[in-house]
Chains A and B, each alone.
Chain A
Amino acid sequence: NAGVTQTPKFQVLKTGQSMTLQCAQDMNHNSMYWYRQDPGMGLRLIYYSASEGTTDKGEVPNGYNVSRLNKREFSLRLESAAPSQTSVYFCASKFNKGQTGELFFGEGSRLTVL
């Protein structure tokens, strides 16, 4: 009964390094989302994917790339990390059933860029 699984849970990077955050869901959901959360900023949408093969930019996509590898997996890549990308990253997923559908969240990945 895993739900939404994110890896890694913690990561420290140096400026300019690259890394990929992995997300997988086992609930057969259609849509998947990546958010970042900073103090006082709430959850800001980075990218989302309504189905395999489709991705769309959210509010803050600059500096990130995503891949919807299959229905289960949605990864977020930082090509050249910057201190401004220090944040907690949440992956979430949901069904596309009309206007309803709860977002299910992973436990978060805390990233620090030095």
Chain B
Amino acid sequence: QKEVEQNSGPLSVPEGAIASLNCTYSDRVSQSFFWYRQYSGKSPELIMSIYSNGDKEDGRFTAQLNKASQYVSLLIRDSQPSDSATYLCAVLTLNSGGYQKVTFGTGTKLQVIP
């Protein structure tokens, strides 16, 4: 079982709609959760981080975390064509030596249709 799992998509939504991206993780002691956006041919860039159960909103983006279900999601409201990219879920855990390890999912490709 992969440590971080995402549906690879593509997820297609019309412009102005809500895009919902999901991620599950296997390590119950995972501490921190991140969503990165990656445009084709570019490096990933951080768009949201969440550390405790519940919702966290930043502009059009809302991250949701449920540690009991080991589930993280990202909602993008009023989706724009410029949101078309691959969204990577990342999870931070501590290894046996107490060092931080960041593991990524395979990413979900989002297409926003004008």
Contact = CB atoms under 8 A, between A and B. Distances in A.
B90 interface: yes
A50 interface: yes
A39 B13 CA distance: 22
B79 to A, nearest CB: 22
Interface string A41-80: 1111100101000101011000000000000000000000
Interface residues of B, number: 27
B106 A99 contact: no
Interface stretch (B57-65, B67-75, B93-101): B93-101
B8 interface: yes
B104 A102 contact: no
Interface of A: 31, 33, 35, 40-45, 48, 50, 54, 56, 58-59, 90, 92, 94, 96, 99-103, 105-108
The 7 closest A-B pairs by CB, nearest first: A50-B99, A42-B106, A43-B104, A105-B43, A99-B31, A99-B32, A102-B46
Given A56-B95, A99-B51, A103-B102, 8 more contacts: A42-B104, A50-B99, A50-B100, A54-B99, A56-B97, A59-B3, A105-B43, A105-B45
